[in-house]
Structure 1
Amino acid sequence: MGTALVTGASAGLGLEFAWQLATARHDVVLVARDEGRLTRLAGQLEAAAGVRAEVLPADLTDHADVARVADRLRSDERPVGLLVNNAGLGLNQGFVDGDVAAEERALELMVRTVMVLSHAAAGAMTARGRGAILNVGSVAGLTATGTYAAHKAWVRVFTEALARELKGTGVTATVVAPGFTHTEFHERGRIDTGHYPAAAWLDAEDVVAAALADVRRGAVLSTPSLRYKAVSALLRVAPRSAVRAFGGYRRPLEDAPATDA
């Protein structure tokens, strides 16, 4: 695939995607807000893997910044062969009494940005006759646990529709739907996870390896781990009244840092 562009590359699954792609000899374009963190990562990737790591700082809730990333995806110079739409955030609040500005920011990041960048990548890739788009969804997209679940449900359906439209073009679209994964995501979202059993957690390394393997074989739906395949199957067949009764918002961690993308 040559060059891969990863959003949210400074932490969590995005960081792991960057490392696995670089060690597989792909050049990478690293996108996130924290330029200093991206620059340090780029230096580490270049030294360890011998690849080119390009830093593209951007706030993906800002339309102008999103347009700059879209322009990079359309560029014929070091063309991007794999887009990983990974950037996301968790909101530990109810909708009715929550901060609507925070809700708008989450919607921009996890819905609009995915759409705009996928459009740019798909246009450039189909013109070349090859490429892949990987969107990071969540098993939460099969639940009814707030607007995060709604955003991830949109990502899943959007990716399936995109995959259908891209059939026969040489370009693929995949959505990976992990469950609880050991990253900074929950801490940054101030989400208390202490009540979840150890068996519920996945390792970021395994999630990313499974997602990239599914991209290579052209799969549309990727669900890492047998346990979450079983959970997903159950959620698909369960009565929606039962699904709605599952889950909910958790107490924020008192001393955790603010939510970040």
Structure 2
Amino acid sequence: MNLHALAAFDDNYIWLLRDASGRALVVDPGDATPVLAAIGDGPAPHAIVITHHHSDHIGGLPALLARWPDTPVFAPDDARIVHATQRVSEGQVLAIGPWQFRVLAVPGHTRSHLAYVGEDLLFCGDTLFSLGCGRLFEGTPAQMHASLSKLAALPGDTRVCCAHEYTLANAAFALVVDADNPALQQRVKEIHVLRSSGHPSLPVRLDTERACNPFLRCHAAGVRAAVQQHAGMALPDETAVFAALRAWKDGFAG
């Protein structure tokens, strides 16, 4: 399996998955230029999949469809994604080239956000980041917590393919929340090595994220205690811990 994280804008990744013949699946092409450069004179993509409507995830669609007009575009049922050719939803299984991907509804960052899981890969857009999660632009804390719990329940060897290189910034916050976590400390060391050598911090195994990411650890006593101390109040359940943790991160200055 040939997986590439194509850098776009300041910190986006457009994911490109190639089969043995060189045909690709393209995920969240906010900019067409890196995709066109990567594919070059190669064969047209099998398909494009979209996680949500933000422009840094769909902005490259017009140029890519101008180049390859018959390419299917799988996307949420959201009118803001005007170039979709097939609207998909929770539970559907997509046969794309030699691969199969199951569609997961993961509202929170946006109300119609989807993720795609298959082939031991998770394309999760802006829902789950390494050591972090997306901001709540349209959804509620309860929705986002449920979406993250859904993703966290996937097999541990699933490789998480997030859409942004936010990992070092997320690490600074995670170390404040969960400072005594040895798995987190080890992950941060690995991230520094990867980034200093010019490599992406992604993909990352889901079991690593479950051990390190405070937004997947709202059940952990240490995380809960830190969040309650910062909030100055007792929090009744994991959803309340998540909501307070996300609010803390929103105001975190690093």
TM-score relative to the length of structure 1: 0.41
Compare relative contact order (CA 8 Å, sep 6+) and give the higher one, 1 or 2. 1
TM-score (norm 2): 0.42
